[in-house]
Structure 1
Amino acid sequence: MVPVRSTGAAAALQTGRLPDGRRVGIAFSTLAQLRAATGPRQEWMRLTEETLREMLAPLGVTRIQLDPVLVGPDVALQASYPAEPAFVH
């Protein structure tokens, strides 16, 4: 399961950042783990690893973080920029 956010008629993959700033894809092996890390209202879709990698490739993202413990907004970003999830593993 992959967290997404609605962008009108489509859904966009959520990505995260490692402490060193590199972007990573985020995926969960169970819905329970996704809910525990992101909360009950997080939208999601089921994707194969291959499909997720294909969707992340144009973004330059090559790493997928499986089952991160916490996914939330990066509080270090300025309020005027859309928050990109950060996570702790």
Structure 2
Amino acid sequence: MSASLDDPVPLFVPTRTAGAVDVACLQVGRRPDGVRVGIAFSRLELLREATGPRQDWVRMHEDELREQLAQLGVGVIQCDPVLVGPDVFAPAALLDHFA
């Protein structure tokens, strides 16, 4: 069962390390039509199934997530996606990391 984004419970949001080890950035993605989306999960198990066991994450409420995504120009949240892969627009060296 997918969560409704109207639920007041915190979501599990995938992150990645940027620059310094103690700096986490929200992971965003793209739908097949090219629209950038924020990514969130209703349960940790769903995040693990879609991203793998080593994915970093934070918990946050939808309103906080929307505020942070707005600063990146992202207005859509994809909740409980089935698969989260590497950015298809990433440099080849980064994509080799996922091979």
Alpha-carbon separation, structure 1, partners of 2:54 and 2:16: 11
1:36 corresponds to:
49
Q: 1:66 aligns with which of 76, 79, 87?
A: 79
Q: How does 1:44-63 map to 2 (within 5 A)?
A: 44-63=57-76
* Structure of greater Rg: 2
Structure 1 partner of 2:40: 27
TM-score normalised by L of structure 1: 0.84
Root mean square deviation, CA, Å: 1.6
Between 22-31 and 1-10, the greater mean CA deviation after superposition: 1-10
Matched residue, 1:86: none
Once the two structures are aligned, what percentage of the paired residues are identical?
Answer: 61
How many aligned residue pairs are there?
Answer: 82
Helix, strand or coil: the match of 1:61?
coil
Q: Scaled by the length of structure 2, what TM-score is found? A: 0.76
The unaligned stretches of length 5 or more in structure 2 are 1-11
1:74 CA drift (Å) = 3.5
Offset, 1:58: 1.2
